[in-house]
Chains A and B, each alone.
Chain A
Amino acid sequence: MVLKITDLTKNYPGTTCGKPLLNKISLQLAPASSLALTGESGSGKSTLLHLIAALDNFDSGEIYVDGQALSKLDETGAAALRRSTVSLVFQSFNIIPSLTVSENISLHAKLAKRRDTTWEDHLTQRLGLTELGHRYPEQLSGGQQQRVAIARAMALKPKLLLADEPTGNLDEDSSNAVLELMLDLIRDCETSLFLVTHSRAIAAKLQNHLHLSGGKLS
């Protein structure tokens, strides 16, 4: 399993009326499979994604990413995991404004010392960014910026791609195009996808679909 979660509990004291935000949830994600997580605003979808990315600490239970128990990782270990195994795509793109498109795309792979320029060229072509390599993010449209974010994430060929509302800032056409591209790419790389969305239509395009409500998965 690329991702295995057992009895995970996460509580934010004072914000959820005494109930845990995530209450003993468990799930598994096989290699090269995809899972969509839906839920109301504030249901804890993004929190779960942050916990899987080792960006935040949980109260109890365990998360295994590529066989590594996250509770046993210190900050350096968590950073190393994100560097080598996991990639993230956010709703607000989170690309670095001071780097060009091509520099942004290669950044994560460079950090992990796993740069594959042929693959990067292929990605750039596939995502329609070939002509935009020397531009800066501010010179791109929202859809183009999100494609840069996906290219950066996939340049690493990660085992697990975590996407938090990746099309939330895009119009419907751009949204569909970006999602199709992302699904194509994870199929090619045999990457597992954990996608958080509030859209049931998007969730329906993935192999598995879970709904988070009241801290429980259904």
Chain B
Amino acid sequence: MISAALVALLSHWRRHRFQLFTLVTGLALAAALWTAVQAINSEARASYGRAEAMLVQNQHGYLASTTGSSEQLQLSDYVALRRMGWDLSPVVQGEWNIAGQQIDLVGFDFLNPPSATLAEVASPESSPSAKTGSSALVQFLQPPGRVLLHPETAKEIQRAETPFSVQLSTRVPPGTALADVSFASRVLNRQKDLSRLILLSPPGAQDLASLPNHIQHRTGPPMGGEMAKLTESFHLNLTAFGFLSFAVGLFIVQGTISLALEQRRGQFRTLRCLGVSRRMLCTLLAVEITLITFIAACIGLIAGFFLAQALLPGVSVTLSGLYGAPVTAGLSLRPSWIISGFAMTFLGAFVASSQAFFTLWTLPVLQLPSTQARGQKVIRSFRAGAFLGCGLILCGFVALEILDSLTGGFVFLAGLMLGAAVFLPFFLNFSLRLGKLYSHRPLVQWLWADTAAQLPGLSLALMALLLALATNIGVSTMVSSFRLTFLGWMDQRLSAAIYITTEDDAQGRAVEAWLRQEQNQQPGLRILPIRYHETTLQGGKIRIYGLRDDPSYRNNWPMISAQDGAWDAVFQGAGLLINEQLSYRLGLGPGDQLNLPSGWPVKITGTYADYGNPHGQVLISMSQLLQNTPEVENRRFGLHLPPSEVQNLINRILEETELTRENLTDQTSVKARSLAVFDQTFRVTGALNILTLAVAGFAILTSLATLWNQRLPQLAPIWAMGVSRRTLAGLDLLRSLLIAALTACLALPLGLLLAWVLLDVINAKAFGWRLPMHLFPLDWLRLIAMALLTAGLAALISAWRLFRLQPSDLLKVFSNDR
């Protein structure tokens, strides 16, 4: 019995292959988009994990200075602790400028490696060129030294000739170099201090008590935890967009499942009459949808893998550019996202089909509801949807007020978007009825009425279009506002014509001395050293920059709020400026005091915009910086001079100093590089947006295609009354454009609200800075035109079929009407 009934049920798909294609495609698209995002997130997190594993090295933790400032752990501390019996392995870590690239150099003691992992990575198997394990080790220890690099990092570095040998390993995080501690101390000029001391055996309670005050035992990752925290908001954003695309895909699924059940009502009734119980029928339908979901999930997972593979290089560049987070560009299969993809697809199919199953369970076996009753029921459901939509939006506002966090922001977004989607059918129905009321020509009246009659079948697809269009408008407004602000900010911040980065301090001193001499010949030349001290403040990394008094700061710096005489206070040593991120994180503003160690200025006199920087930043006078940290490196300089003199000075620097072209960056290059990183950051979001709009277009296409058979009985009488098939086809196309345009009317304010939430709420909570919102009407017009084009293209097939329809097919409607 079961097999006969199941075959009868499945036979529906044999006769409705396009509908089956729609269902599988909808589910597969939803699964693919979700899986792609999860795969990217999972790969990125695995990369952070690998980086942590490589840098933390073991589970016993490490010793570091209590202030978090690495320079305060001296070599003498290490010697003293070893003499006390501590089993330690020293680490020196810092930023290393090599061949124009800035990478993270971590120096370990290769003679006493803190873990087997490091020894494995450095083993001869990783290096085909080395003959034995000991000879490989010797190359790490002896000058010129050897560094371990990820192949991607090595590709960048090896363009230039390097005075050391390179060994490749995919187990090294990208953007990081591992070397012996002697090599790292030499190139980072850190002969007397260490970053941390890794414990090789577990410490006892007494051992910990014997630690000097300025040293503490830590078990967390030295940078990985911070990395995960920094990038979490990025991953949350990505997940949110993945979920949105998933939800849009589910609209297709729900529409198709509902339609399939609606079309099979007669079949269900017959099967019930033939002795198939309601319970059995529902079970068989559940088996059917499970089979289809499994197939779709498999297709979706494969498609998602390839999509993720295409997007991952972009994400990798974004994460390393924006946060300095190491992410490999290759994707590997991970159980987490495979399971998550399957689970979400099944969950989505369950959610999308639950309403249809409820309808089936409560379906009266004997009679179909009359068209009139269904029509009234639909209007009632539109009204209920309008109330529900308003309720959801209200809930979102309440959540935003109560949950003052990023989660609150996303709950608000979810409430807003879902509420607007549920409200849409009522809005469209109301607009169409209004249109009918004010039209006089009969065919136009029929068009309004017929469009309203199609709403129940099309509403899910239109909800998908609303969400996709609003997201596109919102995100494009956000990105364009950000871009405009970012460009203005760059003009203000990057005011120097040339930036110099020397190899080390000694070279820095020599170059500065040469530049001072050059000033005598070029009075317009101003030299501004860029020097900073890195430390931690209340658990977060901050950089304290020292500034020399110069009009370029006073005139150009992008201040957000400042007290009168803010710059005077800074240069007189009585105040400091902080970036917006730090201000937001600590809840401090002008007039407040920053909790820095004694000797530093504490009074905040202003805050400034510092877009794209994940860390806190403090500006003080150069004299105060040098007074507190005289050892701070002096390798970077900004040179101000008239534009006509720039190329001449670059030539002279290259001729008369040891610097190469890679040590110099002109303002145009910096801006171009920054803008490229900026554009790359939003490329993934843009791709997801376009995909979402495409999915919405597909939803309309499938809805129109599946509604096709139901349309004939409505169109045949109009055709019989003398309206040609050509006119009917034209009106069909017009109908799709009309409802897409009405949907756009709601999508525009929704998208602008979304942009405001992203700029003012999500951005502030995720990154710590707000952005002014700018309006871009031309962008909106372009997006709305794209949505209309999508809807028009989706309607083109059904209009074409209508145009080509044979009179005999239309006559069938009447021949069955006995």
Does chain A bind chain B?
yes
Mark A residues whose CB is within 8 Å of B: 50, 53, 55-56, 75-76, 78-84, 88, 90, 94-99, 103, 107-108, 110-113, 136, 142, 169
Q: How far is the CA of A136 from the CA of B15 in the complex (A)?
A: 10
Closest chain A CB from B236 CB (angstroms): 45
Partner of A94, one of B13, B273, B275: B273
Out of B266, B275, B277, B365, name the residue touching A112 (CB < 8 Å): B275
Closest 5 CB pairs of A and B: A83-B275, A110-B4, A79-B277, A82-B275, A98-B11
A103 and B11 form a contact (CB under 8 A): yes
- Give the distance in Å from the alpha carbon of A27 to the alpha carbon of B280 in the complex: 33
B279 located at the interface, meaning its Cβ lies under 8 Å from any Cβ of chain A in the complex = yes
- CB pair A94–B1 under 8 Å, yes or no, is no
Inside 8 A of B366's CB, which chain A residues have their CB?
50, 55-56
Chain B stretch 592-645: residues in CB contact (< 8 A) with chain A: none
A111 touching B11 in the complex, CB below 8 Å, given contacts A83-B274, A98-B267: no
7 examples of A-B residue contacts, CB within 8 angstroms: A50-B366, A78-B277, A79-B280, A82-B274, A82-B275, A98-B13, A111-B1
Q: How far is the CB of A175 from chain B (nearest CB, A)?
A: 12
Residue in contact with A97 in the complex, picked from B7, B267, B272, CB distance below 8 Å:
B267
Name the residue on B nearest A53 (C-beta).
Answer: B273
Q: Do A98 and B15 have beta carbons less than 8 Å apart?
A: yes
Known: A96-B8, A97-B267. 6 other contacts (CB 8 A): A55-B365, A75-B277, A75-B278, A98-B13, A99-B8, A99-B11
A98 to B4, CA, bound (A): 14
Residues of A within 8 A of B5 (CB): 111
Residues of A within 8 A of B273 (CB): 53, 55, 82, 88, 90, 94
Interchain CA distance A135-B193 in the complex, whole Å: 88
Chain B residues lying within 8 Å of A78, measured Cβ to Cβ, are: 277
Contact B275–A84 (Cβ < 8 Å):
yes
Which A residues lie within 8 Å of B14 (CB)?
98
B270 at the interface (CB under 8 A from A): yes
Give the residues in chain B near A96, CB-CB below 8 Å: 8, 11, 266-267, 270-271
Whole-angstrom distance between the Cβ of B52 and the nearest chain A Cβ: 57
Interface residue from A75, A82, A99, A107 paired with B279 (Cβ < 8 Å): A75
Of all chain B residues, which has the CB nearest A83?
A: B275
In the assembled complex, the Cα of A88 lies from the Cα of B365 at a distance in Å of 14
Cβ–Cβ < 8 Å partners of B272 in chain A:
55, 79
- Residues of B at under 8 Å CB distance from A? 1, 4-5, 7-8, 11-16, 266-267, 269-280, 365-366, 818
Once bound together, how far apart are the Cα atoms of A114 and B45, in whole Å? Answer: 60
Contact between B365 and A98 (Cβ–Cβ < 8 Å)?
A: no
Interface of B is mostly: helix
Q: Complex formed: what's the CA distance from A63 to B642 in Å?
A: 106
User: In the assembly, what is the distance between CA of A190 and CA of B23, in Å?
Assistant: 47
**Bound complex: CA A19 to CA B408 (Å):** 60
A109 closest partner in B (C-beta) = B4
Report how far A84 CA is from B273 CA in the complex, Å.
11
Nearest CB in chain B: distance from A149 CB, A: 9
Chain B residues closer than 8 Å to A98, beta-carbon distance: 8, 11-16, 267
A94 touches B266 (CB 8 A): yes
Q: How many angstroms from the CA of A94 to the CA of B366 in the assembled complex?
A: 12
Docked CA distance A31–B366 (Å): 27
Which residues of the partner chain A approach B1 to less than 8 Å between Cβ atoms? 83, 110-113
Q: Which residues of B contact A97 (CB under 8 A)?
A: 15, 266-267
Bound-state Cα–Cα, A37 to B622, Å: 107
A79 near B267 with CB under 8 A, answer no
Give, as a whole number of angstroms, the nearest-CB distance from B274 to chain A: 5
Which A residues are CB-close (under 8 A) to B7? 103
Q: In the complex, A55→B271 CA distance in Å? A: 12
| Contact A76/B4 with A97-B267, A99-B11 known, Cβ cut-off 8 Å | no
Kindly list chain B residues whose C-beta atoms are within 8 Å of the C-beta of A169: 818
Which residues from chain B contact A113 at a C-beta distance below 8 Å?
1
Nearest-neighbor residue (CB-CB) of A50 within chain B: B366
Contacts of A84 in B (CB 8 A): 275
- A142 to B815, alpha carbons, bound, how many Å? 10
Query: Residues of A contacting B365 with CB < 8 Å?
Result: 55
Complex Cα gap A89–B13 (Å): 25
A55 to B16, CA, bound (A): 29
A9→B383 CA distance, assembly (Å): 40
List, in ascending order, chain A residues with CB within 8 A of B266's CB: 94, 96-97
Residues from chain B with Cβ under 8 Å of A99 in the complex: 8, 11
A76 touches B279 (CB 8 A): yes
- Chain A min CB distance to B467 (Å): 33
The reply to whether B269 and A94 form a contact with Cβ atoms under 8 Å apart is yes
In the complex the two chains form, what is the Cα distance from A159 to B493 in whole Å? Answer: 93
- Complex interface: chain B residues within 8 A of A110 (CB): 1, 4
Residue from A103, A107, A112 whose CB has the most chain B CB atoms within 10 Å:
A107
Residue in A closest to B268 when the chains form the complex, CB atoms: A96
B818 touches A142 (CB 8 A): yes
Residue on B nearest A87 in the bound complex, by CB: B274
Complex alpha-carbon distance, A111 and B270, angstroms:
12
Q: Which residues from B are CB-within-8-Å of A76?
A: 277, 279
Answer whether A79 and B275 are a contact pair too, CB < 8 Å, given A94-B270, A113-B1, A142-B818: yes
CB distance from A13 to the nearest CB of B (A): 16
